[in-house]
């Protein structure tokens, strides 16, 4: 197992955590007016987050050397690739609940906070299990291989956000009004505090991301069990997830074969994890980086070439709900808009 042992002072953990919080605060302030995010703005922010993620790798290079930096980049790349898969389900959830464009960033912002918290827990629990019980490498590895296989063969399974167990449980426990009330998650009706449909959409995003977190954390743990590297690779990749959504939401149809590449990456991570506990041992980081880079490049190029006759912009215009800020769309339990992005089913048919 590639544990990449090196001392990480507490102040470094604190500095990185504070830095992530500051970046989240900047992003929140930049979008505090709930404006509709266009492609140009999203592309600029995506560039900023990617630069931050790549820049942190350079800091690691100067601090701990090339092997540590390369390990971080391998984790960052695989997490960034898997985050594209998140966009498919986010588009479906937003379409299903007819979330107005102006509030989608707010839902994703709080969704990312939940995603970071969930990943932090999974990272420490998973790393500890792998360090204490060697056989958990076989379990995690088998899980990743199975997940990759499901992703490759279950592309056409539909996702139904309203059937998600967590969403149903929340609606039973918390009084919910099936309408939007501006950008509020909660409001008062007849003196009673109730959750809005925007809160239900947030819960759907959080619930689906819990499943994504298991996959992505396990995949990065297959590269290294160093909690600092796994955490930073996940955190810097997830920070750009909101901007990535607004960049790619209208182009989802163009990524028709990306799920095959992601399936290969998950299966490769599973095999790598299993081999780490055999006489073969850990695979070299340069080999891991090469497999990740080639797989992502080939699957994206294959998708773009195969769909080059399609108009990506039409998907974008159809996927956006184009409601006014205080629009009152259908309740979550009713019918939902039929948009092209709603057909971009998640390959696994996750809840």
Instruction: Please report the pLDDT score of residue 239 as a whole number.
Output: 84
Distance of CA 133 to the CA centre of its chain: 28
For residues 6 and 299, what is the distance between their CA atoms, to the nearest angstrom?
Answer: 35
Token pair belonging to 297: 């490049």
Is 50:247 a contact under the CB 8 Å cutoff?
A: no
Is 232:15 a contact under the CB 8 Å cutoff?
A: no
Is 344:252 a contact under the CB 8 Å cutoff?
A: yes
Instruction: Please report the pLDDT score of residue 159 as a whole number.
Output: 57
Instruction: Please report the pLDDT score of residue 119 as a whole number.
Output: 87
| Overall pTM surpassing 0.85 (yes/no) | no
For residues 309 and 304, what is the distance between their CA atoms, to the nearest angstrom?
Answer: 9
Is 239:20 a contact under the CB 8 Å cutoff?
A: yes
Instruction: Please report the pLDDT score of residue 318 as a whole number.
Output: 39
Instruction: Please report the pLDDT score of residue 160 as a whole number.
Output: 62
Instruction: Please report the pLDDT score of residue 76 as a whole number.
Output: 93
Degrees (nearest 5) of the Cα angle 73, 79, 82?
140
Is 298:324 a contact under the CB 8 Å cutoff?
A: no
Q: What 3-state DSSP class applies to 294?
A: helix
Token pair belonging to 80: 């960034």
For residues 348 and 43, what is the distance between their CA atoms, to the nearest angstrom?
Answer: 28
Instruction: Please report the pLDDT score of residue 312 as a whole number.
Output: 47
What dihedral do alpha carbons 109, 114, 117, 118 form, nearest 10°? -140
Is 143:291 a contact under the CB 8 Å cutoff?
A: no
**Paired residues of 187 in beta bridges:** 194
Output b/e per residue, 83-99; b: 16+ Cβ within 10 A. bbbbbbbbbbbbbbbbb
What number of helices (H) and strands (E) belong to the chain?
Answer: 12, 2
Which residue intervals of the chain are DSSP H helices?
10-30, 39-64, 66-96, 101-132, 136-153, 165-173, 197-221, 227-239, 241-248, 258-275, 285-306, 312-319
Residues present in the chain in total: 351
Burial tier of 349 (Cβ tally within 10 Å: 0-12, 13-18, 19+): middle
Instruction: Please report the pLDDT score of residue 336 as a whole number.
Output: 38
Residue where the block lists tokens 């954390």: 217
Query: What is the residue-level pLDDT of the chain in tens, covering all 351 positions?
Result: 445 678 889 999 999 989 988 988 887 777 666 677 777 888 888 899 999 999 999 999 999 999 999 999 999 998 888 877 777 778 878 888 888 888 888 888 888 888 888 888 888 888 888 777 777 888 888 888 888 888 888 765 555 666 667 778 888 888 888 888 888 899 988 888 999 989 988 988 888 777 778 878 888 888 888 999 999 999 998 888 888 888 877 676 777 788 888 888 888 888 888 888 788 777 787 888 888 889 888 988 888 888 887 654 444 443 443 443 344 444 443 433 333 333 333 333 333
For residues 152 and 69, what is the distance between their CA atoms, to the nearest angstrom?
Answer: 31
Is 219:264 a contact under the CB 8 Å cutoff?
A: no
């Amino acid at each position: 197992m590639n544990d990449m042992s090196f001392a990480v002072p507490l102040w470094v953990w604190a500095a990185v955590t504070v830095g992530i919080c500051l970046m989240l605060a900047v992003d929140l302030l930049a979008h505090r007016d709930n404006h509709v995010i266009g492609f140009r703005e999203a592309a600029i922010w995506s560039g900023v987050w990617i630069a931050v993620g790549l820049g942190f790798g350079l800091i690691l290079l100067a601090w701990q050397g090339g092997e540590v930096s390369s390990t971080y980049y391998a984790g960052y790349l695989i997490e960034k690739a898997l985050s594209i898969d998140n966009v498919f389900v986010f588009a479906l959830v937003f379409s299903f609940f007819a979330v107005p464009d102006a509030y989608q960033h707010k839902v994703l912002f709080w969704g990312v906070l939940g995603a970071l918290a969930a990943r932090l827990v999974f990272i420490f629990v998973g790393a500890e299990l792998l360090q204490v019980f060697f056989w958990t490498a076989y379990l995690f590895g088998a899980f990743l291989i199975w997940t990759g296989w499901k992703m490759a063969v279950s592309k056409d399974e539909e996702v139904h956000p309203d059937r998600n167990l967590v969403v149903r449980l929340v609606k039973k426990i918390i009084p919910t009004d099936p309408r939007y009330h501006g950008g509020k998650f909660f409001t008062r009706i007849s003196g009673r505090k109730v959750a809005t449909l925007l809160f239900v959409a947030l819960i759907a995003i959080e619930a689906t991301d819990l499943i994504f977190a298991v996959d992505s954390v396990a995949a990065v743990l297959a590269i290294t069990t160093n909690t600092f590297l796994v955490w930073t690779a996940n955190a810097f990749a997830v920070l750009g997830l909101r901007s990535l959504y607004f960049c790619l939401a209208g182009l989802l149809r163009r990524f028709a074969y990306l799920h095959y590449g992601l399936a290969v990456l998950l299966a490769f991570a599973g095999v790598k994890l299993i081999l780490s506990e055999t006489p073969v041992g850990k695979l070299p980081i340069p080999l891991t980086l090469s497999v990740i880079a080639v797989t992502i490049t080939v699957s994206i190029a294959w998708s773009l070439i195969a769909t080059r006759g399609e108009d990506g912009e039409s998907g974008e215009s159809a996927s956006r709900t184009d409601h006014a800020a205080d629009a009152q769309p259908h309740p979550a339990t009713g019918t939902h808009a039929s948009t092209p992005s709603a057909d971009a089913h998640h390959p696994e048919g996750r809840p």
